[in-house]
Amino acid sequence: MGCRISEVILLGTGVTIPSKDRNASGVLVVLNDGTLLLFDCGNGILRQIAKADVDFSKIDNVFITHLHLDHTSDLGILVKANWLQGRQTLNVYGPKGTKQMCDLFFSKTYPYLEGVITLSVTDIKPGPVLKNDHWSISCFPLTHGISSLAYKVETEENKIVVCGDTFSPVREPNRGLSTFAKNADLLIHEVSFPDDYPYDKKDHTKPTPLGKEAEEAGVKTLIVTHMYPACEGKEEQIVESIKKHYTGEVIIGEDLMTILLPNKNK
């Protein structure tokens, strides 16, 4: 049996602004060999992991897309929880500044947590991140207010792409994202605001440009996440805007939604 991504759990599909329905950002990728890969660890993510009936202490690797609080706030909680459970090690990967953030957090702000577990933190550059005989992870730079990354998980059978926050038209300034995500089984991407919302800063995505990008990439399924309150009640409109240009499946992400990926060898 080949290694494959068996399911993806949307732990948090919201933003910094509190919502009764949407937690801050987090995505859990589950491989059929039991490997758990956590992408982002925003506020409340550990509780979401518990709600998903997943053992947080089985997560070896955390991948941060960018250093905004709604994507990183529970990282310290994850370290402490592992310590309290007797866990010894944890690996964290993220854009430039991730190591400094962790050093300041654990040595200056909460020094009692420094060294309680072996925490390996790596600032990564675009390109390969982690690889073994069965799966690999690479990353691609995105345009946002600060350094932001998209991660691609590839196995022997399938591949998915998880994007951090980004302004994402088809061509500029994220030239190359559609190539990075080419023919992915699943693309997880933000839509922070509907097309008609008066937001024109170049750090978040609206649905119509995303539809063009997803079609160019040829991804099979597009999962919409990171939705601000302005999207509430406009989910159908957002899907319609995306479908103007995108012919694949569109799913509006919801907290604790599990996406099962088909076994292509069956």
**Residue 111: is the preceding peptide bond cis (ω within 30°)?**
no
Q: Tell me the sheet residues that pair with 155.
A: 135
**Nearest-angstrom CA–CA distance, 39 and 97:** 17
Strands laid side by side in the 257-260 sheet:
118-123, 89-94, 61-63, 36-39, 26-31, 5-12, 257-260
Tell me which amino acid residue 70 is: D
| Known catalytic membership, residue 70 | yes
Nearest to 194 by CA among 135, 155, 252, 259: 252
Task: Say if CB 5 and CB 26 are below 8 A apart.
Answer: no
Q: What is the dihedral of CA 202, 205, 208, 212, to 10 degrees?
A: 90
From the list 33, 53, 70, 123, the catalytic residue is 70
**E-assigned strand segments in the chain:** 5-12, 26-31, 36-39, 61-63, 89-94, 118-123, 127-131, 135-142, 148-155, 159-163, 186-190, 221-225, 249-252, 257-260
**Three-class SS string for 9-58?**
EEEECCCCCCCCCCCCCEEEEEECCCCEEEECCCCCHHHHHHHCCCCHHH
* Cα–Cα distance, 179 to 152 (Å, whole number): 12
- Catalytic residues, by residue number, are 70
